[in-house]
Structure 1
């Protein structure tokens, strides 16, 4: 069949040199694709590692929340039990309120003492200043008489 013969020059190949250039370009493109694929796999692995870390942190946070919820419930039940016990010699809520009031009175007394000490220091300082001034006046009078 004369019309079915294939020409090796058809398709833009110019002999063995054109084929080498196409092969080099294909190899270069293949290497670039492999590099992109490798980088994508690295990014994918980093994403998986980050997701795993976030999952572990979330699980730890949920465990801590459960721990503190349980701890709070335990403390509430203890406080309720202590409030309701009739055999306790001291009514705990009133005692707590009394201690708070006493601490408030103690703070008031401390403040008053500090103010009194400050006034006393000012008064003593003023007295010392007055004595020094009187002494200076006496000295100047005494020098004036000489």
Structure 2
């Protein structure tokens, strides 16, 4: 059963993520729109707190950063429950041509309790690097 998207206020702070360095890939949150159910965050390639070197970026790191970005949207609505990524769907990847930071974007597309579907994208210097959907299961 689908429900309208209604998010509670959130002060975006990456310290609130369960992942701690060196496994936290989101450096900071630029914007969070509770009415639209969207978030924009950034991941640097040379953050001294994670294990990525500036010239190496794995697909895993991009997917993990996108999942961490999505956790703000899902957990802002249900802060006392645990959420689990159950899958990435319709993913497309392109190797980045720049060493610039990554812009991470997530939009809440659908809530069918206990599942949340989010549209995700990562860009680097305006080049689309990853795009698709992420599904999250939230404990009931």
Greater percentage in strand: 2
- TM-score, normalising length from structure 1? 0.16
Greater percentage in helix: 1
Higher gyration radius (CA): 1
Structure number with greater CO (CA < 8 Å, separation at least 6) is 2
- TM-score, normalising length from structure 2? 0.17
